[in-house]
Structure 1
Amino acid sequence: MTQTANYRIIHETAYRYSEPVALCQNQLRMRPRNQAKLKCHSCEVEIDPAPASILRHPDYYGNMVDSFSIESLHQSLLVRVTSRVTVSAPDAENLASAPAWTELASMVRRGDKPVDWDAREFVFESPRIELSPKFADYAREIMQPHTSIVDAVDALTKHIHNDFRYDTQATDVNTTTEDAFLMKAGVCQDFAHVQIACLRSLGLPTRYISGYLRTYPPEGEPRLVGSDESHAWISVYAGSEVGWVDFDPTNAVRAGTDHIPMCLGRDYDDISPMRGIVMGGGQPELKVSVDVLPLD
C-alpha cells in the first residue's frame, strides 16, 4: 500500500511600500503541479489590490504561472495561495532496481532510450550551475564506494549535510553556487545548488525542486501557524524504470511524505516563487508566511 499524506498549504507574501506604487507586474510560481508524487485537489490565488489583468499558463517545465498586473496606485500588496494536496512516498521496491550511477551517466550521455533524452537537458550548465572538475571530484570521492545511483546519491546527500554549515547569514539569494561551495555554508537553496553542480558534473541529470517541508513543533508545544517556510531540494534521474528520486541535502534525507514538491526547473532562477517589477514604491518591506497543515 502506498503511503500518503494530505495537506492544506497557505503561502502569504505581503509587501508594504514607503511610497505609492504606480504599476507592478509579477509572475507567481506557487501552484502545485500534478506529478507522480503529488496530486493537487484545489488551489486558490488571492491578490489584493485586485489586478487589472491576470493570465495563467504553463512554463517550459510544466509549472503553472500566474502573471498579473496592478495598474492603480497602491502602497501594499498581498498574495495568498491556498492549496490542498496529497503527497505519496517513493516505492521502495522500485528504488531497489535502480542502476549503477556510472552506467547511468553513460546511458544518458549516449541517449540509449527516448526518456533519457528528456532527462539530458538537466545534465548541462544553467544560470546558477557551473560544471567543474572540483564539483565532480568532491562527489566522486563520496559516491565511488557505492554502486546504485540511489545509494550513491544518499551518501553524497548526507556528506553535504555534514560538511556544510546551515547559516542564514552566510549567503543571500544572489550568492553563487561556487561561493557557497567554497564557504561550505548557506541555506537550502545553496545546499541544493551545490549538490546539483556535483551530480551534473558527473553526467547525472539533476533538477531543482521548490516546495514545502512539514515541520514538527517541540514535544508538548502547539504548532505555530505561519511558522513554516518554503524549501528546496533536488531530484535525480535514476533511469527509465525508476524515474526521478528526490533528496534533501539540507536535512540529509531522501524526500518522503514530509516533502511537498511544487515546481521544478534547472535551478532557482527557473522557479523563484514570485518575481516582477514595480514603478515607484520607495523602500519595500517584505513579510512571508507559510502554513503547512496536515489533514490526516
Structure 2
Amino acid sequence: MKYSIRHETRCHYDSPASYSIRKLRITPREEGGVKISRWEVNTPARSSRSVDAWGNTTHLLSLTAPHENVRIVVTGEVEIPDQGQALIGTDCDGLTLPIYLASTSLTQPDAALSALARTHLGRAPQHIADVLALLEALRAHLRPTPSGGEPLRGAAESFTRQAATLPDQVHVLLTACRAVGLPARFVSGYQLGERVREHAWAGIWLEAAGGWVSFDARRGELASGHQIRLAVGRDYLDACPMRSMHQGGGQEEVRVTVRMM
C-alpha cells in the first residue's frame, strides 16, 4: 500500500536567535519491505545529508543569521507491505547486538524494575508472550502522561513516579529487556491508520521469533505492522525526529503536523 505524507515542523523563538542547529531524522528507513517512491526534505537553508551510526538518514541544518522562525516541510510517498502483524526483521544496522544492551542516561535500571523484568523474562528463550506479559504489568504500574512540554525523565525516575510520557514508556520497556540480556532499541516513526501521526515504539530482539519484534509500549501490544520507521537507536536522543540547539532566542516553541496527502 502506498502512502503520501506531508510532515511540517514549525519552530518559533521568543526573540531572534543568533544561531541554531538541528539534526533531522525524518527520512524513512527502507527495510522490512518499505520502499520510498519519493521523499523531499525542504529546509530554509541548505542542509547536509548523511547516515549516522545507527543506519538512520540524517539532515544537519545550521542557521547563522538572526531568525525567529524555522519551517521544515517534508513531502513524499512510501510504499509498505500489506501486513497486519508485528514488524519483524533481522537487520542489525551493521552493528553487533551487544550495543543494544548498553545502558544510557535514559535507560539506567533500578532494582525494582530489574526485579519485575526477571519475573517475566527471567527464563530463556524469551518469547513474544513473555514480553506482552511484562507490558501488561508495566501498563498497570505506569500512568500515561502527555508528552508535549514534559521533560524526559528516563526509565528509573518514570518507574518510581509510576507515570511516563510516551518516550519514557518506551525507555522503561527497553531498560527492563536489557536488564535480562535482551537487546532492545528505540524506534521513532509514523503510525498509519485513518490518519498518520508521529509515534514511538520498541524493537526487541527475540531469537525465538526470528529477530526484531516491534512492541507498542503505550498500548501494551504488538505493533500492528502499520508503521513506518524513521529512526532507531539506543534511546530517544539517538532516534528522535529532531534535536536542536540555539544561541539566543529565549524559549523555543515547536509545532509538528503530519497528514496524508
TM-score (norm 2): 0.86
CA deviation after TM superposition for structure 1 residue 33, in Å = 1.2
- Check the 8 A contact 2:3/2:79 in 1, yes or no: yes
Kindly indicate whether residue 176 of structure 2 is the aligned counterpart of residue 204 of structure 1. no
Which letter maps to 1:59?
D
**Distance in structure 1 (CA, Å) of the matches to 2:22 and 2:85:** 38
Moved more, 233-242 or 70-79: 233-242
Secondary structure at 2:119's aligned position in 1?
Answer: helix
**Distance in structure 2 (CA, Å) of the matches to 1:155 and 1:176:** 22
Tell me how many residue pairs correspond in the alignment.
257
- Check the 8 A contact 1:143/1:155 in 2, yes or no: no
- Check the 8 A contact 2:50/2:58 in 1, yes or no: yes
- Check the 8 A contact 1:32/1:40 in 2, yes or no: yes
**Distance in structure 2 (CA, Å) of the matches to 1:231 and 1:169:** 11
Kindly indicate whether residue 253 of structure 2 is the aligned counterpart of residue 285 of structure 1. yes
**Distance in structure 1 (CA, Å) of the matches to 2:175 and 2:216:** 14
Correspondence for 2:69:
76
Higher-Rg member (1/2):
1
- Check the 8 A contact 1:208/1:267 in 2, yes or no: yes
Correspondence for 1:187:
165
The verdict on how the C-alpha distance between 1:170 and 1:15 changes in structure 2, with shifts beyond 3 A counting, is closer
Cα displacement string for residues 133-168 of structure 1 (whole angstroms, at most 9, x for unaligned residues): 432211222346996521211222233233321122
CA deviation after TM superposition for structure 1 residue 239, in Å = 2.1
The verdict on how the C-alpha distance between 1:158 and 1:38 changes in structure 2, with shifts beyond 3 A counting, is farther
User: What RMSD, in angstroms, separates the aligned Cα atoms of the two structures?
Assistant: 3.0
Secondary structure at 1:275's aligned position in 2?
Answer: strand
Correspondence for 2:207:
239
**Distance in structure 2 (CA, Å) of the matches to 1:268 and 1:159:** 22
| Contiguous gaps of at least 5 residues in structure 1 | 96-113, 217-222
Cα displacement string for residues 4-54 of structure 1 (whole angstroms, at most 9, x for unaligned residues): x4322222111222322332222111111111253222211112xx31x42
The verdict on how the C-alpha distance between 1:259 and 1:157 changes in structure 2, with shifts beyond 3 A counting, is farther
Correspondence for 2:56:
63
**Distance in structure 2 (CA, Å) of the matches to 1:257 and 1:187:** 22
The verdict on how the C-alpha distance between 1:140 and 1:241 changes in structure 2, with shifts beyond 3 A counting, is closer
Overall identity of the aligned pairs, in %: 27
From 39, 42, 51, the counterpart of 1:43? 39
Which letter maps to 1:80?
V
**Distance in structure 2 (CA, Å) of the matches to 1:57 and 1:144:** 39
- Check the 8 A contact 2:23/2:58 in 1, yes or no: yes
Alignment of 1:58-207 (within 5 A): 58-88=51-81, 89=83, 118-143=96-121, 148-168=126-146, 172-207=150-185
**Distance in structure 2 (CA, Å) of the matches to 1:40 and 1:133:** 43
Correspondence for 2:19:
23
Cα displacement string for residues 56-89 of structure 1 (whole angstroms, at most 9, x for unaligned residues): 0000001011012222332211011223223343
The verdict on how the C-alpha distance between 1:132 and 1:21 changes in structure 2, with shifts beyond 3 A counting, is closer
Kindly indicate whether residue 249 of structure 2 is the aligned counterpart of residue 271 of structure 1. no
- Check the 8 A contact 1:171/1:187 in 2, yes or no: no
Which letter maps to 1:277?
M
Secondary structure at 1:135's aligned position in 2?
Answer: helix
The verdict on how the C-alpha distance between 1:145 and 1:27 changes in structure 2, with shifts beyond 3 A counting, is closer
Secondary structure at 1:69's aligned position in 2?
Answer: strand
Alignment of 1:243-262 (within 5 A): 243-262=211-230
Moved more, 59-68 or 21-30: 21-30
